[in-house]
Structure 1
Amino acid sequence: MNYEELPRSALIKLLQDQDEERVQAGKDGIVLNYAGRAAPWQIVRQIKPRMFEFNKRASVGNTEEEVANEIWDGENLSTMVTLYKFRGQVDLVLTDPPYNTGEDFRYNDKWDKDPNDPDMGDLVAKDDGSRHSKWLRFMTPRLWMMREMLKPGGVIAICIDHRELYRLGMLMDEIFHEENRIAILNWQKSAAARPDNKHVSTSTEYVLVYGKDITRVKTMSLERSEQDNRRYANFDNDLNGLWREGNLTAKSYSAKDDYGIQSPFTGEVHYPAGHGAWRHPKKNILNWLCEWGAKFEERDIGDGRSKALMVKSQETGRVDSAVKAAAESILNSGNPWPFVWFGRDGSGRPRVKTYLEKIKRGKVPVTYWSDQDLSSEEIYDDLGAMSWDYKESGRSADGVSELTSIVGPGHGFTTVKPMKLFSKIIELWCKRDGIVLDPFAGSGTTGHAVLNLNQTTNAERRFILIEQGNDEKGDHYAKTLTADRIKKAISGKWKSSARDPLNGGFRFFNLKREKVDANAVNALAREEMMDLLLVSYWDRNDRAKSYLRRLPAGEHKHLFAVNSRNEGFFLVWSSPDEPSQLTRSVFKEIVKEGRTNGLVERYHIYAALAPYTGNDIEFYQIPDKVLEHIGFNARADAFNNDGGMDAN
């Protein structure tokens, strides 16, 4: 950036942004600095929404199925800005961005000239000494925009490998803040040693998981399988059903709950494991112990801890034969044992029962995902660093094989995230009717995983996929690969063999080079105007679910869509050169169309002018209301004026 050429107002703004960064650094510890850095909010603020077109031929499903999901062909930062109705509405951003792998990659380096440049940018060679800075420069504004798209309790899960792990982690700490880090997932991408490093074979990759506000994030449980339940049994015919051993020790320490418990079988006094404390209230544990046929009491045994729970009139290290016989009689009676028990032969430490009935709705993720299923008492609240082996998350080879089976060989992708990995992440951090956004959609694994989970778990999640890449021939992956894979998954017509079809559909959009402004909206033909209204419309009460179902073109003069409440949406617009006015006579035509189609008598009407008004009319003025719905703010957009970067 040439500071000497900047006007005074731009220099003041730059200094204000730098002060804001310094304040942020004081709050969060660090701000990552690199060559060519610009504040991400400064960049995003300058991006304008772009015009787009709805591609009916590339879309899949009937009119109701289409509106649930979207695939966009276009530069992802501009596309996210254009998707204004979804800002603050996304439950999960799940994405696999281009890694700085040492091979050539593209990035957009034109923020200081024109941030609305739609091109992908120049190639960055693998021997470029600034490649890490350029990669960060590419990622920073996109991560900021992904954060903007999330709900307050939303989550981002972003894939990365070892080459940029540390830099991305620092950038994520800065943008999302360290206290909102949920997990670092370490997943096994390969089960066999690979000769890719002369020292240590690279067999793992990572997923960094952050919440927008961790205090509002909900981590769901995973679906349980019969394999998960295999360690549950019912040795004592407990009326509560299958159970397994649970830990009586809590991970947090409390002095009042740090005391000894005497076994009625051996007389030994047991203490909480490690530096923990008993997890249940003392009075409850006392009652459970008494169910073993002996009387227990609180007693100071001189161990420097709280009063122990001891068998009445018995000394440390011994119990008389009557106490032991009573406990063994209950153990061998065939009747349910007390909740606190001492092992199947009575010789162990005190532990509790964990009932399958209470946790069967799902399993909780633990710090290490393997074949083992830890009891609910052993789960850590904070996931921290988590490792998933390939049996839990799939391998990169599985992802490539899945893609080849669906679209056939020759797709050119050598690394593809497996469905199993993405499915687990979606299960954990996207509610059953939530929205998943993938700004680097690639081969479409995210969308496929959403549809597959919807079918197998009877859920209603939705996806938004954005892809801007193209192959050597110049064909855009969004259409030739991303949409093609999702289409084949829905139809069940895989290249390898026929599969069960998946329910669902999607609308396909092409982002255009033209920016959205009043002139662009007013120049639209009727079909183009309807496309814009269908995508940009949102209800102030519920943006995320206020999508419209388009009616077949050409069947009505004004009616073009209906919402979920069976209310009609009408467009008084023939062409840019024709008058667009809601008059009394036009409203009569609208009422007739609504009644003919059995619609609720509330009319949503788009027009340039409205000389006629009524109580049942919701009027949307063209272009003002359309621009508002797409997030366009002329006064806040520096690039709306001829002065470009120098405009105030």
Structure 2
Amino acid sequence: MTEDRLPLTSQNMLDDKIAALRELFPEVFAEGKVDFERLKQALGESIEEGRERYGLSWAGKSEAIRNLQAQSVGTLTPVPEESVNFETTENIFIEGDNLEVLKLLQKSYHNQIKMIYIDPPYNTGKEFIYPDNFREGLEDYLRYSGQKNGEGIKLTTNTETNGRFHSKWLNMMYPRLFLARNLLKEDGVIFVSIDDHEVHNLRALMNEIFGEENFIASVIWQKVFSPKNSARHFSEDHDYIIVYVRNSEVWLPNLLARTEEANARYSNPDNDPRDVWSSGDLTARNFYADGQYEVRSPSGKTFVPPRGRYWAIRYEKFLELEQDKRIWWGEDGDSMPRLKRFLSEVKQGIVPQTLWKYSDVGHTQEAKKELVEFVQFENTDNVLDTVKPTRLIQRILQLATTPLANDLVLDFFSGSASTAHAVLKQNKEDGGNRRFICVQLPEYLPIAETKLKTIADIGKARIHSAIANLDETRNGDLDLNGVGQHDRGFKVFTLTESNFKIWDGTAPQNVEQLSILLQEFAENIRPGTTKLGMLYEILLKAGFPLTAKVEKLEIAGQEIYAIEDQELFICLEYEILEETVRQILTYQPKPKQFISLDSSFRGNDQLKTNTQLQMRDHDIKFRTV
């Protein structure tokens, strides 16, 4: 096995697609490129040419696709001082542009997310703020967030007077949703909050990315508890939550727990020994040839279905139910017959409906009150207007996750971290072990405060407060050491440029300038880089999650990081010793991979070559960075 260099860019999705195409159709490649004429022949009748077809198109779509395919050269730098239980927690909060972050998560979290909930900008002409360059590359983000010198990116509002009102919103959403789909498990599901301004475009966009067959529902959320009488035309009382899945063949929602109100509908007025029951209509609107007959009650009164309706069962079946005392004729025995349904026989839960009332899942005023309770604002102008109540997101968690399945939940438009708060609350209530990843752009608040400068600061403050609140009210039965112990912590990361100098593929024509450039890259570690920062960049780009188990070992007097129980060894020492390499080769259990800094060999090519050969002989994958 030859020595390899660890790629310092995010996963190249275009290369992955081409590799998959090569695996399926090797015959369509000529001189390393796809020959479309051969591809058409290979696909045969599946190709349709020269016809206009239904689809979604907008100004800038091709550029959005190119932006999606562009690799990120950034990294996620850990911030332990802002975290809680950094060493042990599996919850993550990332401060940064979500497009770059989603690219960086592709390798480590591909097919790992069980549920996504996002509350993206609604494009109302007020809160849809974005850089003028919608691509939001790493360089633009670093300037915007103050990590690099130079003018900040100008922020604008996407007003309807802009001719590209809808196009810019679609350009922003397309690559993010595409990348999000890659992260979902086969039985994963995504919920997207939206209003009337873009719900039609969102549906069309998600049909293209997820497939029409994977649309599940358009939920209506009653977001206000009283009408807005100041509205010019209609009081807008609802938002939508659009639901798509990765694969509709394998996904089913959980049943909602039966409520006391639902069970209260069951009673036992006739003292039936089969316990409490509720009655249901025996007629239906659909014409049924065998559903046209007359029945007689115990009191002798006859009944037929109302005009336009029919009995939903055959007469013979009706007699069987009557014999089994499952027909209810009313207390006096002379009412229209109804079917008795026993509580013991119905599903032990309720199928979710598409209308969610504020009394069940909360409203906007409740959400703002909740935010103010958990975040201490110095200025009320900084309180977010579009925050969602945790009860709403808890309903989604109940439908889409399993308490003890260690499900991973992602929100990459995190805002005030309502999703993180909801995960913590739901785990508290049902003893679950769900984990969250939240991503938020550090968008500046209207008025800077002592502790709060950005929306990301609000999110971190809220999670801190929620954890403190849950610790104060902890339930001993759910917080025992071991199985069922709650994760009351979160790791904070921030999007930054790589810890390593990355060659951009271009070189100056001047020989003298090229020589200077090569000297600069002889030491590829950027000034100010920390071991912790390098460690997590290597983990992420080697395909390990940000919550991977990290253990420090001392081998030959040098510090070695053992990842996931010796799955990977990482050496970040200034100079690696020959004895260190020798002891790693005989270490038990044997690591599967070994990564070291290329500069650690300090120009000793013989040691590097020997290490490469010895690692190969011991079946250890060796790479440098």
What TM-score comes out, normalization by structure 2 length? Answer: 0.71
Q: Does the CA-based 8 Å contact 2:500-2:524 persist in structure 1?
A: no
**Match status 1:450 vs 2:416:** no
Q: What is the match of residue 388 of structure 2?
A: 417
The code of the aligned residue for 2:94 comes to W
The alpha carbon displacement at 1:124 in A equals 2.8
Q: What is the match of residue 290 of structure 1?
A: 323
The alpha carbon displacement at 1:388 in A equals 2.4
Q: Distance in 1 between matches of 2:501 and 2:247?
A: 34
* 3-state SS of 1:622 partner: strand
Q: Does the CA-based 8 Å contact 2:134-2:171 persist in structure 1?
A: no
Q: 1:23 to 1:145 in 2, by over 3 A?
A: farther
Q: Does the CA-based 8 Å contact 1:24-1:31 persist in structure 2?
A: no
Q: What is the match of residue 260 of structure 1?
A: 293
Q: Distance in 1 between matches of 2:48 and 2:105?
A: 28
**Match status 1:482 vs 2:483:** no
The one of 572, 580, 594 equivalent to 1:606 is 594
Q: Distance in 1 between matches of 2:262 and 2:238?
A: 25
* 3-state SS of 1:492 partner: helix
Q: What is the match of residue 24 of structure 2?
A: none
The alpha carbon displacement at 1:268 in A equals 2.7
Q: What is the match of residue 345 of structure 1?
A: 332
Q: What is the match of residue 80 of structure 2?
A: 56
* 3-state SS of 2:62 partner: coil
The alpha carbon displacement at 1:480 in A equals 1.7
**Match status 1:167 vs 2:151:** no
Shifted more, 466-475 versus 104-113: the winner is 104-113
The one of 429, 437, 440 equivalent to 2:410 is 437
**Match status 1:426 vs 2:397:** yes
The code of the aligned residue for 1:467 comes to Q
Shifted more, 186-195 versus 574-583: the winner is 574-583
Q: Distance in 2 between matches of 1:191 and 1:453?
A: 24
Q: What is the match of residue 126 of structure 2?
A: 103
Q: What is the match of residue 215 of structure 1?
A: 249
Q: Distance in 2 between matches of 1:517 and 1:24?
A: 47
* 3-state SS of 1:483 partner: helix
Q: Distance in 1 between matches of 2:578 and 2:342?
A: 67
The one of 95, 103, 112 equivalent to 1:89 is 112
Q: 1:193 to 1:534 in 2, by over 3 A?
A: same
Q: What is the match of residue 73 of structure 1?
A: 95
* 3-state SS of 2:359 partner: helix
The code of the aligned residue for 2:225 comes to A
**Match status 1:531 vs 2:536:** yes
Q: Distance in 2 between matches of 1:24 and 1:505?
A: 53
Q: What is the match of residue 55 of structure 2?
A: 31
Q: Distance in 1 between matches of 2:463 and 2:258?
A: 27
Q: 1:136 to 1:586 in 2, by over 3 A?
A: closer
The code of the aligned residue for 1:606 comes to F
Q: 1:517 to 1:283 in 2, by over 3 A?
A: farther
Following superposition of structure 1 onto structure 2, how do residues 196-215 of structure 1 map, counting pairs within 5 Å? 196-215=230-249
Q: Does the CA-based 8 Å contact 2:293-2:315 persist in structure 1?
A: no
- Flag structure 2 segments of 5+ consecutive residues without an equivalent: 1-32, 145-152, 476-485, 504-520, 597-610
Question: Deviation digits for residues 188-233 of structure 1, max 9, x if unmatched?
Answer: 2222232553222222222122223323321111123323321122
The code of the aligned residue for 1:456 comes to E
Q: 1:137 to 1:237 in 2, by over 3 A?
A: same
The one of 431, 438, 442 equivalent to 1:469 is 442
The code of the aligned residue for 2:548 comes to L
The alpha carbon displacement at 1:614 in A equals 9.9
The one of 512, 524, 527 equivalent to 2:496 is 512
The alpha carbon displacement at 1:518 in A equals 7.5
Shifted more, 447-456 versus 152-161: the winner is 152-161
What TM-score comes out, normalization by structure 1 length? Answer: 0.69
Q: Distance in 2 between matches of 1:24 and 1:39?
A: 25
* 3-state SS of 2:172 partner: helix
**Match status 1:387 vs 2:355:** yes
The code of the aligned residue for 1:484 comes to A
Q: Distance in 1 between matches of 2:136 and 2:127?
A: 23
Following superposition of structure 1 onto structure 2, how do residues 237-316 of structure 1 map, counting pairs within 5 Å? 237-248=271-282, 255=288, 258-260=291-293, 262-265=295-298, 266=300, 268-271=302-305, 278=312, 285-291=318-324
* 3-state SS of 2:444 partner: coil
The alpha carbon displacement at 1:351 in A equals 2.9
Shifted more, 260-269 versus 142-151: the winner is 260-269
Q: Distance in 1 between matches of 2:271 and 2:499?
A: 71
The alpha carbon displacement at 1:468 in A equals 0.7
Q: Does the CA-based 8 Å contact 1:52-1:512 persist in structure 2?
A: yes
**Match status 1:128 vs 2:162:** yes
Shifted more, 208-217 versus 419-428: the winner is 208-217
Q: Distance in 1 between matches of 2:502 and 2:341?
A: 63
Q: What is the match of residue 401 of structure 1?
A: 369
The alpha carbon displacement at 1:399 in A equals 0.6
Question: Deviation digits for residues 46-74 of structure 1, max 9, x if unmatched?
Answer: 2325212111112212633x1x2211111
Q: Distance in 2 between matches of 1:38 and 1:424?
A: 37
Question: Deviation digits for residues 341-393 of structure 1, max 9, x if unmatched?
Answer: 33333323343333333447422222xxxxxxxxxxxxxxxxxxx33222122
Q: Distance in 1 between matches of 2:579 and 2:443?
A: 43
Q: Give the % identical residues.
A: 26
Q: 1:149 to 1:36 in 2, by over 3 A?
A: same
Q: 1:604 to 1:259 in 2, by over 3 A?
A: farther
* 3-state SS of 1:53 partner: strand
Q: Does the CA-based 8 Å contact 1:244-1:353 persist in structure 2?
A: yes
Q: Distance in 2 between matches of 1:429 and 1:345?
A: 46
The alpha carbon displacement at 1:431 in A equals 3.2
Q: 1:612 to 1:46 in 2, by over 3 A?
A: same
Q: 1:394 to 1:476 in 2, by over 3 A?
A: same
Q: What is the match of residue 509 of structure 2?
A: none
Q: 1:168 to 1:201 in 2, by over 3 A?
A: same
Q: Distance in 1 between matches of 2:156 and 2:502?
A: 37
Q: Does the CA-based 8 Å contact 1:234-1:242 persist in structure 2?
A: yes
The one of 570, 573, 581 equivalent to 2:571 is 573
Question: Deviation digits for residues 289-321 of structure 1, max 9, x if unmatched?
Answer: 234xxxxxxxxxxxxxxxxxxxxxxxxxxxxxx
Q: Distance in 2 between matches of 1:548 and 1:114?
A: 28
Q: What is the match of residue 548 of structure 2?
A: 548
The alpha carbon displacement at 1:610 in A equals 5.0
Q: Distance in 1 between matches of 2:49 and 2:332?
A: 59
The code of the aligned residue for 1:89 comes to Q
* 3-state SS of 2:141 partner: coil
Question: Deviation digits for residues 77-101 of structure 1, max 9, x if unmatched?
Answer: 1111111222222222111112222
Q: What is the match of residue 491 of structure 1?
A: 468
The alpha carbon displacement at 1:509 in A equals 1.0
The alpha carbon displacement at 1:559 in A equals 5.4
Q: 1:212 to 1:579 in 2, by over 3 A?
A: same
The alpha carbon displacement at 1:424 in A equals 0.9
Q: Distance in 1 between matches of 2:116 and 2:408?
A: 9
Q: 1:574 to 1:92 in 2, by over 3 A?
A: closer
Q: 1:114 to 1:187 in 2, by over 3 A?
A: closer
Q: Distance in 2 between matches of 1:355 and 1:178?
A: 38
Q: Does the CA-based 8 Å contact 1:246-1:352 persist in structure 2?
A: yes
Q: 1:346 to 1:554 in 2, by over 3 A?
A: farther
* 3-state SS of 1:182 partner: strand
The alpha carbon displacement at 1:132 in A equals 2.8
How many residues of Structure 1 are paired with residues of Structure 2 in the alignment?
Answer: 519
The code of the aligned residue for 1:511 comes to L
The one of 217, 225, 230 equivalent to 1:191 is 225
The code of the aligned residue for 2:125 comes to G
Q: Distance in 2 between matches of 1:229 and 1:28?
A: 54
Q: Does the CA-based 8 Å contact 2:562-2:569 persist in structure 1?
A: no
* 3-state SS of 2:179 partner: helix
